[in-house]
Structure 1
Amino acid sequence: MEFGSMSNIKLVVIPILTILFIILGIRKREKILEKIGWKKDIFIMAVKGILISLGTSLVFLALLSPQKLKEEENIKVQGSDLYVLMDISKSMLAEDTYPNRLETSKAELRGILDNLKGDRVGIIPFSDSAYIQMPLTDDYFMAKNYIDAIDSKLISGGGTELLEGLKLANKSFEKTDAKDKNVIIFSDGGEKNQEVLNYVKDNKIKTFIFGVGTDEGSVIPIDNGFIKDDKGNVVVSKLNDSFLKELAKESGGAYYQLDNLNNNNYKKLIQDIGKLDKTSQREEKLNIYEKYYQYPLGLGLIFILIGYFLRRREKEGEYV
């Protein structure tokens, strides 16, 4: 026997608080009855408390989803290999999307992971340079932990070296013998780079790009104020999407706007990814479990109801 939802262990606070409230309630009631000179039925009070406490504990046990392994089955999984290139340059801290462009991108990426099935994902943050933060994997839970760790301080500098990220992704694809090379990019844009265009064409990399930010733009906050130019003027960073759109088109991919009004475009991406050839094929072991949560859940509810409707009556000078 094992538990399938150990993430609910934090809910253990519920039966603990329930027991504490029952104990406090009983003591408070005893004091009130003593003051008015009434006697109480200790046995009924104890049974009522035990039933509700036990019932609550059983419901908590059900939330942990007790289960037993029934059988194992080998299944074939097909999917696409996808590398996510996340721009973490200083301009991604601009707050024209809430709370800023980088956090908006991370939230959108979580939405993508929630809707992928069988696809392997890798993460490459880039700025003045790039590195593989997470290699290709279909462990989306682990991927979300990596996403939480992404910030603008992972790489020093404030530039945008997209080409370096593309080269890292391409090398990884070649090691896996991937037939298709698909890259998802989150960036607020930059000047046209012919070298980048040539690289994706020569290496047949398909780019799906999220342009993050707005045309109006925003200042870029830093610890001691805002980023300024050489003349001392505060820099306003605006979305520069012309090159991003060209890159997506020339590579055979797609472009998506990502701002406060358009923050669910990952759904369009999922549709586009669904049309890709599923070149990543592997066998995985599927464990089939028999669930037993319904037994402690049903018994727990019965105990709670009995305890709740169990009534006691206290009268002056007598037990009932």
Structure 2
Amino acid sequence: MEFGNTASIKFVVIPILTVLFLILGVRKREKILERIGWKKDTIIMIVKTLFLSLGGILVFIALLSPQKLKEEEKIAIQGSDLYVLMDISKSMLAEDTYPNRLEISKKELKEILNNLKGDRVGIIPFSDSAYVQMPLTDDYFMAINYIDAIDSKLISGGGTELLEALKLANNSFEKTDAKDKNVIIFSDGGERNPEILKYVKDNHIKTFIFGVGTDEGSVIPIDNGFIKDNSGNIVVSKLNDNFLKELARESGGQYYSLNNLNTGNYQKLIADIGKLDKTSQRDEKLNIYEQYYQYPLGAGLLLILIGYFLRRKEKEGEYV
């Protein structure tokens, strides 16, 4: 026998307070009867207190969900392996999307994780360089914690080294013997790079790309104002998605827009991922339990009711 809901131990205060108030009420009533000259029936009071206390304890035990392991079952989990390549260059701080491009990307990625089932996900932030922040895992709760930690200061510099991020993802796929290599990219674009196109084709990497930002663009805030060019003019960063669209198309993937008017394209991505071959297979153990909470719950409520409604007929100077 074990308890399946130990988190509810904090609610022990509820039955304790309930029983305490009931007992205090009984004692208060007894004192009133004593003042008007009626006798106290100590045995009845003890029985009443015992029933209320024991009932409260049983209700608390029921809250802990007592259970017994019935059987163990192995279930096969199938899914895809996905690496998320998150652009954290300075341009991703532009505020043409609210609150900025990086934050809206993180929010969209969380929506993706909330809708995945069985797929393993890894995260690679990139800027002037790239690194594996989180290897492939199906622990989406842990992944969301990693997403919260992403900011533009993780990597110094403001460039966009997408090729290095792709190489890291590819090396990780090869270490896990993945048959298919799928990456999700969040970026505001960059100059056309034939080397990247050749790399994804040679290594059979399929890219699903979110182009983050707007055609109008925005300035890039920094601590002391805004980023300026060599001539001292304030730089306006615009979405440069021509190459991103080409990369998605040539790799056999898809392109999606991400800005304040297009924040639901994660649903299209989920649908596209659902069409992928589920090459990641693993077994997970599922424990099946027999639940017994209903027995202490029923007994506890019954004892509380009996104790609460336990009454005597009072006469002056005696109980009958």
TM-score by length of 1: 0.76
CA–CA separation in structure 2 for the residues paired with 1:267 and 1:273: 10
Which moves more between the two structures, 14-23 or 150-159?
Answer: 14-23
Counterpart mapping for 1:11-50 below 5 A: 11-16=8-13, 19-20=16-17, 23=20, 43=46, 46=49, 50=53
The residue matched to 1:158 in structure 2 has which SS?
Answer: coil
Aligned counterpart, 2:190? 190
Which moves more between the two structures, 184-193 or 33-42?
Answer: 33-42
1:206 CA drift (Å): 0.9
Q: Does structure 2 conserve the Cα–Cα contact (< 8 Å) formed by 1:211 and 1:241?
A: yes
Aligned counterpart, 1:149? 149
Aligned counterpart, 2:287? 288
Change (3 A) 1:58 1:126: same
Counterpart mapping for 1:78-157 below 5 A: 78-157=78-157
Q: 2:61 aligns with which of 58, 62, 68?
A: 58
Which moves more between the two structures, 197-206 or 124-133?
Answer: 197-206
The residue matched to 2:124 in structure 1 has which SS?
Answer: strand
Q: How big is each residue's C-alpha offset from its partner over 1:106-155, in whole Å with a ceiling of 9 and x where there is no partner? A: 33323323333333322111111001122223333433333333222221
Which moves more between the two structures, 229-238 or 132-141?
Answer: 229-238
CA–CA separation in structure 1 for the residues paired with 2:271 and 2:90: 31
CA–CA separation in structure 2 for the residues paired with 1:122 and 1:137: 6
CA–CA separation in structure 1 for the residues paired with 2:122 and 2:255: 20
Where do 5+ consecutive residues of structure 2 fail to align?
Answer: none
Letter in 2 for 1:50: S
Q: How big is each residue's C-alpha offset from its partner over 1:259-307, in whole Å with a ceiling of 9 and x where there is no partner? A: 33433322221211121223334x4242332241xx2256336635763
Q: 1:303 aligns with which of 274, 293, 300?
A: 300
The residue matched to 1:209 in structure 2 has which SS?
Answer: strand
Q: Does structure 2 conserve the Cα–Cα contact (< 8 Å) formed by 1:98 and 1:104?
A: yes
Larger Rg: 2
Q: Does structure 1 conserve the Cα–Cα contact (< 8 Å) formed by 2:70 and 2:290?
A: no
CA–CA separation in structure 1 for the residues paired with 2:315 and 2:100: 67
Counterpart mapping for 1:170-319 below 5 A: 170-222=170-222, 224-230=223-229, 235-281=235-281, 283-292=282-291, 295-297=292-294, 299-300=296-297, 303-304=300-301, 307=304, 310-311=308-309
% identity of equivalent residues: 62
Which moves more between the two structures, 235-244 or 154-163?
Answer: 235-244
1:189 CA drift (Å): 2.2
Which moves more between the two structures, 122-131 or 42-51?
Answer: 42-51
CA–CA separation in structure 1 for the residues paired with 2:232 and 2:45: 78
TM-score by length of 2: 0.76
Q: Does structure 1 conserve the Cα–Cα contact (< 8 Å) formed by 2:219 and 2:227?
A: no
1:86 CA drift (Å): 1.2
Change (3 A) 1:241 1:71: same
